[in-house]
Amino acid sequence: MKLILLGPPGAGKGTQAKMLTERFDIPQISTGDILRAAVKDRTPMGVKAKSFMDAGGLVPDDVVIGIVRERLQNQDCAAGFILDGFPRTVAQADALKETLHSLGKDLDAVISLEVDTEALVERLTGRRTCRECGQGYHVKFDPPREAGRCDACGGELFQRDDDSEETIRKRLEVYHAQTSPLAAYYRNEDLLLPVDGMQEIGTVQEKILSHLQAA
């Protein structure tokens, strides 16, 4: 299964991707996670990416395209993959098409998670992530059993710096300007599967699975 999860910040891409990786036993490729790890390790790529991420803008196309190109050649992508947060621009989508073509792979579907803007702000301001294992939570919609502690590993939960209200507004603007055209892009390729992302996490997962079966 070769999938893209498309949708604005806070739509639930990471949450759904993690569930799909278990279901299909294929890796989640999150450019956001890869970039945050590079920032944390202060690699040259991380140093370059940090200011764009802090400001809520996009990291330059050549950087993220390089990440995904390399990652897709990894042996663990042989049976499939879930791209989460990539592509985010038409240039990235074109580069992905070229890369997959050269690897002799075709996308199965692009799942588009549709969520109202106000709900996105509430989801992002309440988002928490485990520092140890990366599991995501929400203080209201998906709380851990013990406040501030990961159910899976007991790690400490933290709030991302870019999940402040001001940076969220900026990221949503960037999404509308640069990423939302990708829905039409993949509709034209007959790959787009729109899913109502306003429902509960488990219901969204069921909808995605039934759409994939029907596709």
- The reply to whether 114 sits near ligand ADP by the rule CB under 6 A is no
28-30, strands of its sheet edge to edge: 28-30, 81-84, 2-6, 109-114, 192-196
- Can you tell me which of 38, 123, 172, 195 binds ligand ADP, judged by CB under 6 A? 123
Tell me, by CB under 6 A, how many residues bind ligand ADP.
Answer: 35
Mark the segment that binds Zn ion (CB under 5 A) among 104-112, 126-134, 159-167, 201-209: 126-134
Mark the segment that binds Zn ion (CB under 5 A) among 78-86, 92-100, 131-139, 204-212: 131-139
Buried-exposed string 18-41: b where 16+ CB fall within 10 A, e elsewhere: bbbbeebebbbbbbbbbbbebbee
- The reply to whether 135 sits near Zn ion by the rule CB under 5 A is yes
Q: Please indicate whether residue 69 is annotated as part of the active site.
A: no
Chain residues 149-168 in contact with Zn ion, contact rule CB under 5 A: 150, 152-153, 155
Read off the amino acid at residue 44: P
Mark the segment that binds Zn ion (CB under 5 A) among 35-43, 106-114, 120-128, 129-137: 129-137
Buried-exposed string 132-160: b where 16+ CB fall within 10 A, e elsewhere: eebbbbbeeebebeeeeebeeeebebeee
In the complex, minimum distance from the CB of residue 190 to ligand ADP, in angstroms, rounded to a whole number: 23
Instruction: Give the single-character DSSP code of 58.
Output: P
Q: Please indicate whether residue 160 is annotated as part of the active site.
A: yes
Distance of CA 9 to the CA centre of its chain: 8
Partner whose binding site includes residue 150, from Zn ion, ligand ADP, none (CB under 5 to 8 Å by kind): Zn ion
Q: Please indicate whether residue 187 is annotated as part of the active site.
A: no
- The reply to whether 207 sits near ligand ADP by the rule CB under 6 A is no
- The reply to whether 14 sits near ligand ADP by the rule CB under 6 A is yes
| Cα–Cα distance measured from residue 194 to residue 7, given in angstroms and rounded to the nearest whole number | 10
| Strand blocks (E) in 73-159 | 81-84, 109-114, 127-130, 136-138, 157-158
Active site residues: 13, 88, 127, 160, 171
Q: Interface residues with Zn ion (CB under 5 A)?
A: 130, 132-133, 135, 150, 152-153, 155
